[in-house]
Amino acid sequence: MAAKHMEHIQPYSLQSGTMIPTNFRKFLRTCVIWQLMRFIAINIKMTILILRSHH
Amino acid sequence: MARLVVMGGGVSGHTAATFAKKWLGSKHEVVVVTPNSLWNWIPSNIWVGVGEMKKEDVTFALAPVYKKAGIDYRQAKAISIHPEGNNSGDKPYITIEYTSKEKEGQTEELTYDYLINATGPKLNFAATPGLGDANGIGEHTVSVCTADHAVHASHELHKVFQKAKTKKQKILVGTGHGMCTCQGAAFEYIFNIEHEAKKAGVRDNVDIKWISNESFLGDFGMGGMHLNVGGYTASSKIFAESLYSERKLSWIIGAHVNKVEKGKAHYELLDGSTGVEEFDFAMLIPPFAGVGLKALNKAGEDITETLFAPNGFLKVDANYAAGAYENWKASDWPRTLQNPTYGNIFAVGIAFAPPHPISKPMSSPNGTPITPTPPRTGMPSAMMGKAVARSIVDMINGASKPTHTACMAEMGAACVASAGKGLFSGTAAAMTVYPVVPDFEKYPGIGRDINMTTGEIGLAGHWIKHFLHFAFIWKAKLKPLWTIIPE
CB B412 within 8 A of CB A52: yes
Name which of A20, A30, A43 is nearest B459 (Cβ-Cβ): A30
* Cβ of residue B394 closer than 8 Å to a chain A Cβ: no
Task: Determine whether the interchain pair A15/B244 forms a contact, defined as Cβ–Cβ distance below 8 Å.
Answer: yes
Residues of chain B with Cβ-Cβ distance to A19 below 8 Å are 238, 242
CATH architecture under which domain B3-123+288-396 falls: 3-Layer(bba) Sandwich (3.50)
- List, for residues B358-402, the tens digit of each pLDDT value: 999 999 999 999 999 998 877 899 999 999 999 999 999 999 999
For chain B, give every domain's residue range: 3-123+288-396
CA distance B52 to B147: 13
- Say which residues have a Cβ less than 8 Å from residue B181's Cβ, sequence separation at least 6: B221, B285, B287, B288, B372, B373, B374, B375, B376
- List, for residues B311-350, the tens digit of each pLDDT value: 999 999 999 999 999 999 999 999 999 999 999 999 999 9
Determine the distance in angstroms separating the CA of A49 from the nearest CA of chain B, rounded to an integer.
Answer: 6
A interface residues, B as partner, C-beta within 8 Å: 5, 8-9, 14-15, 17-21, 28-30, 32, 34-36, 38-39, 42-43, 45-50, 52-55
**Mean pLDDT in residue range B3-10:** 96
Task: Determine whether the interchain pair B432/A45 forms a contact, defined as Cβ–Cβ distance below 8 Å.
Answer: yes
CA distance B182 to B187: 9
- Say which residues have a Cβ less than 8 Å from residue B131's Cβ, sequence separation at least 6: B125, B138, B139, B140, B141, B176, B177, B257, B260, B284, B286
- pLDDT classification of B354: cutoffs 50, 70, 90: very high
- List, for residues B267-326, the tens digit of each pLDDT value: 999 999 999 999 999 999 999 989 999 999 999 999 999 999 999 999 999 999 999 999
* Cβ of residue B405 closer than 8 Å to a chain A Cβ: yes
Q: Is the pLDDT of residue A3 over 80?
A: no
Residues of chain B with Cβ-Cβ distance to A30 below 8 Å are 424-425, 427, 458-459
Mutate to test the interface with B, among A12, A18, A31 (most CBs of B within 10 A): A18
* Cβ of residue B249 closer than 8 Å to a chain A Cβ: no
For chain A, give every domain's residue range: 21-55
- pLDDT classification of A10: cutoffs 50, 70, 90: confident
Q: What is the ipTM of this complex?
A: 0.87
**Mean pLDDT in residue range B6-22:** 96
**Which residue does chain B place closest to A50, by CA atoms?**
B412
